[in-house]
Amino acid sequence: MATPLSVVLIPGLNCSARLYAEQIPALWRFGPVQVADHTRDDSMDAIASRILAAAPPRFALAGLSMGGYLALTIVRHAPERVQRLALLDTSARPETPEQTARRKPQIALAEAGRFAEVPALQFAVFVHRNRQNDEALRERVRLMAEETGAQAFLRQQQAIMTRPDARPFLPAIKCPTLVLVGDGDELTPPALSQEIAAGVTGSRLVVIADCGHLSTMERPDAVNRALIEWMTG
């Protein structure tokens, strides 16, 4: 039997451990699974340092969206500790002025005590266009925001807006790497995952059909198959 390897999962912006509810049982067979805390700091480096302090000495690392930005930060800080890397629905690029402008209305709502209105705005771009009327999925997105809270959301937005350009670092990544994206992801379109996969030598690119940004929740079976292959390949 293979030596167990712990898995660390990092959620995305305004997402909680609920994001990986379907993945934790599938990954548990390989070793302990830990969902990282990405709520208490307002910079990528500070959040990454907190996650590393709580993580096992060696681990497999997966992150979705903001979690992917953090995974790239962690593997840059501690490449010897990250044995496998999975980057889901994310980007290696820095923030653009246009992206910051789109964040401002949600930030303003949170600052004005209207954070409860944010999940509905996010849902429209979080999930595939064919899932817009999925009320069960909408409720899970609302619950994740409730579990995150307004102040953590504001810290996360600050960290995202000030993130560095990770593209120059991609060729330095040497561990087995999975890059996965939904074919209908509007927030981090497939071209951004293709860019990451082209930059990481030997990485595997998986595009999930009929899937938006929250791939782990929208198409859990397809994502789990890719993650199991990532852990066993």
Q: What is the pLDDT along the chain (233 residues), one digit of tens a residue?
A: 578 999 999 999 999 999 999 999 999 999 999 999 999 999 999 999 999 999 999 999 999 999 999 999 999 999 999 999 999 999 999 999 999 999 999 999 999 999 999 999 999 999 999 999 999 999 999 999 999 999 999 999 999 999 999 999 999 999 999 999 999 999 999 999 999 999 999 999 999 999 999 999 999 999 999 999 999 98
Strands (E), the chain: 6-10, 33-35, 59-64, 82-88, 177-182, 204-208
User: What structural domains does the chain harbor?
Assistant: 6-95+157-232 (3.40.50.1820)
Crossing angle of the two packed helices 150-161 and 97-111, in degrees rounded to 10: 160
pTM value? 0.97
Residue given tokens 């990770």 in the structure block: 166
The phi, psi pair for 86, rounded to 5°, reads: -125, 125
Contact between 179 and 206 (Cβ < 8 Å): yes
Contact 137, 127 (CB under 8 A): yes
Which among 61, 63, 126, 65 is positioned nearest to 93, based on CA atoms? 65
Separation CA 170–CA 182 (nearest Å): 21
